[in-house]
Structure formats: structure tokens, C-alpha cells
Amino acid sequence: MSDERASDVTGEPQQADDAAAEADGEPSDDEQFSIADFHDASQEAGRPVLTAAAVARAHEISQDAAREALESLQSRDELERLSVEADPVVWYPSELEDLTDRERVVVFPKRREIVVDRPDQFTRAQLSQFAHLADGNGEQGYRYVVRPEDVWQAPHDSFDDLARTMRQALGQRSDALEDWVESQWDRAHQFRLTTHEDGYTVLEAKSPEVMGNVARQKLDEEHVHAPISETEDWVREGSEAAIKRILYEAGYPVQDHRELEAGEDLQIDLEVSLRAYQRTWVDRFADAGEGVFVGPPGSGKTVAAMGAMAHVGGETLVLVPSRDLARQWAQTIEEYTSLEAHQIGQYHGGQKHVRPVTIATYQIAGMDRHRSLFDDREWGLVVFDECQHVPSDVYRRSTHLQSRHRLGLSASPIREDNRQTEIFTLVGPPIGTDWEALFDAGFVAEPELEIRYVPWGDEEQRNAYASADGQERYRIAAKNRGKVDEVRYLLSAHPDSKALVFVDYLEQGEDLAAALDVPFLSGETRHHERRRLLEEFRRDERDLLIVSRVGDEGIDLPTADLAIVASGLGGSRRQGTQRAGRTMRPAGGALVYVLATRGTREEDFARKQLQHLGRKGMTIREQTVERGDGGGSGGAGGGGDDDGEENDGNGETE
């Protein structure tokens, strides 16, 4: 029988099975069958209405025992029974009769899952402090999972404070879940890095046992010089990040209490009001001293980062993937803070100025001939924009820069190489708000996403696909010439929209640009021409651009209300997020169409790479395009992690 017993609801301790009852397959008197056990059986069967036989099978007890347990729940008004003509008696939760407008929270402590139907904003805010929103489809409820990393980064000073938040969110006390959370809380406070009075770094453990059985088993002379005591090791300079990563992966996150450089004081006043959730982000960053702001494009992560800069009040280094993004940061800082132009510098291929606030590209900051300029200056804060790049070999060197405060920004801190945990060990724990809450509050518009399955444009490409294999098949499907007609159709169906058409291949972008007689913005576009095109788009002087991967990150297109992804589905989930995110702005009414060649691997790629957006709360539809219907049949409406060259940051193919 499930471990999720009556204690989930009542808070009463669970007792061991009675041996005799266990032998008979019957629940003992002390082991009362609970509504949580019924929900377990319901989930296993995939339906909310069950027979006694179904409950018996799920919990491996006799049908008579199951019937008695169900009748007991009925006597407590937790179940209803219904005799169905020509069928057995069926049972269902009494709550099903009154779920129209009522919040309902069901806890599955054994799986550490929480399913919430119709949660209010308070409940969701509380849940976000210790649980991960795994499925945000509001029509089917919200499914939260409590992972170790969610407990490790919970914004609380003590476990008692965290437990209080859990009980407020769940509306009940779940001893089994709280016991597990407390064990993870303890793990997160076993190790810390401190600064010795002589200036070197020390790894401290809470006990000799955990130092000997964990740290000294995992670390070697590459990481530490020698023991100082039973609970202290002398850390080799420069190995701090590796130690944090190794112990994090072992299940023991390290608290970083080093006395790092604070930099020169710099008065920064924010001249714009933060939204409530942005203020929460900044407060959580202030408590931890580090973190990663995670939110959808358009949620104001950059402005929130400037709130963090104002809190720190020190000289700041901002690292970005491209010089275009560096210019945008410089303009935004000057616009939204009290800093003046002479206090803001940019350091990249176009210009090289180190000032109290400096925006540099990752590639430049990691180069040996430039590193000393950044190493020699004491920074109060280092900001890692688009920090999902940080684990890559190209960008990783920039994380060796030391600062008392570190802040990352990302719409989607996921990597196809599964190195995303390194983001949080190198920069800081995730800090964010669930996307659905921002959609509901109107801060960010939820775009309508539609996958459109497009037929082949000609038999030559279809035959080439059939005879190809591997990556070549994907390339042929992505460049299907039938997509040109589909793009024309969609643009004609939305004549008043400002549109972006995304492509993964330069040849395809050039073909579309020629067919539509519009510019193609790619990594080969000269920087001054790129800026001109983007400014024309922002000023409504241009309503259509074809964009390569250079548009996935680092280019702000705030007025786009239509995005067509003509190719790019074989890549990262992050790429799908970025492309959909180009339309996520408060104005609303945004449409995203993703084109996939029908009957090819692109179909599976499209579903897989956009699936995580569905879990974040977006509605995703699918439409099959029939040949000969004018290019479409109505409807409305993600390559691997590429860490590209400094001058465009795109990593385009061809």
C-alpha cells in the first residue's frame, strides 16, 4: 500500500503494518486507508472514478479489504458511491462534486509531487519557493515537483520558516514530505567556503564525518592543498568553482561565505518602479548575494538586474554574448538609472572602454590578452546575461572573475548537453516566477503557438530526403521549398502584423528574402547595417525581417507580434523559447507559427522542442496543411547549444 497515508491530511504519525494483517493482505487498524491512497489508485488507473477491484489491484489487497476501506472513507464524507446499471459500484472523491471554483491541493509525498487545481496567486507564490512547476497547463491543473535543488535554494533562514511556507501552500501538514525536505535542507548546510584571516580560502564541513566521507572522497590535490583540521581543508586558489560543482553533483551544495572583493562604491538609483515579482527577485538576490533570474522574454529581467545593481551599489561588470546586446545594455542602463554616459563603458570588438559599469562580451573577457583588465579591477557585481552559455568551454573562463555578488539572467537555463547544473554552481541558484502567473497578471502576453505540418514543395526534395540519412535528412526537411509558400500564406493572413521569420540556414534565409523582397539579417550582416534594420523595425518603418540565429538571443524586438519559425527545430529547447519569446510582450495578441515538413523527423522535433513551453503554461496547437488550399488551412497562432563567435554570437550553419 502507498506510503501516502492519512498522515498526509491529519498530520498523525504513520504506524508499521501489523504482521498478521500484512500476511492476510489486509490493512491493519493502525494503518487507516486515506483519501491520498485513493488518489494514488486513481492516478494509476488514469481516471477519477474507481471500482473496489481497481483499488484492490493498485494496492495489492483483497477486494473485500478495498471495499471496507472505501466504505470507511464514505462514512467520513471523503468519497461518494454510485451504483451503475449493469456495472459494479463505483467510487469517486466527494470533492469532485464541488470543484467549480475551489482550489484543491493533493500531495503525493512518495513521489514528492503536488497537484493543484485552480490555485490562487498566493498558493502559487508560496509553492514557487520550494517546488518546481513541472506542468503548467491550467486546464488540467498544475503539477509541481519538489526537487533537491528547489530545497537547496529556498529563500529561508531556517527549516522552520520553510516548513511554515509549505503548510501555508498545501493547506495541510505532510510529515513524509517535510521529513524529506528537512533532509535536503540539512544537506545544503553541510559545507561552506570561507576566507582565512591570512587571505586564502577554506572549505569547512559541519562535521568530521561528512568531511571524511564526502569531501575528502570526492576532492584531491587538484582542489585542496592539505587538511587544516578534521573539518577544514585549505583550498587551492582558482579551484573554488570546481569544488562547488563536484559537491553539488554529489548532493551537497556549498554555501559561499568568502570575503570577496566588493569594488569601489558606486551610487546607482533606479529611475523606474519594479513590479512586485521583480522586487521579490531582487530581495531574494539580496538575501543570497547571488542567483539567476529566470523568467520569460519580456518579463523585465534586465530591469530587475539594474535593481540588483542599485542594491549592491558597487562597480559592475556585465557579460553578454554579443556586441549588439552590449549596446542595448548600455542604452538601457543610461535610460533607467541615474548613471551618466561617461560612467558606462563597452568592451568588445567594436570599442574598448573600462568604466565603473562595463559591458563586455564573454569571448573578450575570457581572452588572455584582455583578462588582466578585468582581473585587476575589483567588481562589486558581475552580471552574466544569457547565462545558459556559461558552462560552455568558450564562455566558462569568464566565470573565473571573482566578485562578492554574481547574478545570471536567462529565459531558459537549459542545455541539451545536460550541463545546466553548472549554471547554478558557477553563478548562483535560480530565482524566478512561474510563467503562468505572469501571463495571468498581464505582465507578459501569452503567445498563441501553432505547429503547422507542411507538405513537400517538390518531388526532388522528397526523393532526396528518402535517400539521405542522419543530419542530412534534417537539413533537407528544414529547407523544404514548400515552406516559402506557407510563409507567404501566413503573412497574407495577417497583413497588419509586424513579423519575424526565423531560419537556421543561410541559403534558406537568402531564398526567402529574395522571394519576399525583404532584408535577411544574419551573422554576415555588417553591424552598422544590422543596427539600421533593427531601428527601422522598432520605429515601425519596417514590418518584416528574415532573421537567422543571430536573433535568438541578444536582440530586443519589443513590437513584434507575429513570428514564423521556418526552420530550427532540430536544436535546443532554449532556441524554441527564445524564438517564441520574441512575441512575449504586454501588448498581447501575439502569434507564433512553427513550420515542420510533414512526415519527417521535423514533426517529432517540433513536438519535443516546444513541449517544455506547454509545461510552462502556453497553449500549443497543431495543424496539418493540405496541398492546393492556398498554402494553408487557417489556424492561428527549436540546433544544439551553440556558443558562437564574438561578433555575432549565433553559430549559424553554412
The pLDDT tens digits for 440-449 are: 666 665 667 8
Cα dihedral sign, 152-154-157-163: negative
Q: Closest Cα partner for 231 from 282, 200, 191, 184? A: 191
Dump pLDDT digits (tens) for 495-525: 888 888 988 888 999 999 999 999 998 878 8
Residues of the chain with pLDDT under 70: 1-31, 46, 83-88, 94-102, 136-140, 261-263, 391-403, 412-422, 434-447, 550-560, 569-590, 609, 611-619, 627-654
149-173 pLDDT per residue, tens: 889 888 788 999 999 999 988 988 8
Strands 544-547 and 499-502: parallel
Q: Is 565 left (phi over 0), alpha (psi -120 to 50) or beta?
A: beta
Q: In order of start, what are the domains of the chain with their CATH numbers?
A: 7-97 (1.10.10.10), 99-186 (no CATH), 189-256 (no CATH), 276-434 (3.40.50.300), 445-624 (3.40.50.300)
- Residue-level pLDDT at 634: 42
| R_g over Cα of the chain | 28
CA distances from 382 to 287, 368, 500 (A): 16, 19, 32
Task: With beta carbons less than 8 A apart as the criterion, state whether 65 and 23 touch.
Answer: no
How are strands ordered across the β-sheet holding 379-384? 344-347, 357-361, 316-320, 379-384, 403-410, 290-294, 430-432
Looking at residue 151, what is its pLDDT?
92
Q: Of the candidates 132, 183, 180, 155, which has an alpha carbon nearest to the alpha carbon of residue 8?
A: 180
Most distant CA pair in the chain, distance = 84
Model's pTM, two decimal places? 0.57
Residue 215 gets which letter from DSSP?
A: I
**Is the distance from CB of 382 to CB of 405 less than 8 angstroms?**
yes
Q: Rounded to an integer, what distance in angstroms lies between the CA atom of residue 140 and that of residue 575? A: 26
CA dist., res. 375 & res. 370, Å (int): 9
Q: Compute the distance between CA of residue 502 and CA of residue 577 in angstroms, rounded to an integer.
A: 13
**pLDDT at res. 589:** 54
pLDDT for 584: 41
| 247: nearest Cα among 181, 178, 154, 148 | 148
Q: Please report, as a single letter, which amino acid is at residue 199.
A: G
Give whole-number Cα distances, 563 to 46, 255, 497, 592, 639, in Å: 37, 42, 10, 5, 18
The CA-CA-CA angle for residues 481, 577, 420, to 5°, reads 125
Do the beta carbons of residue 473 and residue 538 sit within 8 Å? no
What is the pLDDT at residue 563?
84
The model's pLDDT over 531-571, given as tens digits with 9 standing for 90+, comes to: 888 888 888 899 999 988 765 554 555 456 788 888 875 44
From residue 481, how far is each of 416, 456, 631 by CA, in Å? 28, 7, 12
Mean pLDDT of the chain: 78
Burial class, 102, CB count within 10 angstroms (exposed 0-12 / middle 13-18 / buried 19+): exposed
Distance, CA of 310 to CA of 316 (rounded, Å): 10
Q: Tell me the three cell numbers of residue 504.
A: 537556421
Say what the pLDDT of residue 612 is: 58
Residues 6+ apart with CB under 8 A from 42: 48, 50
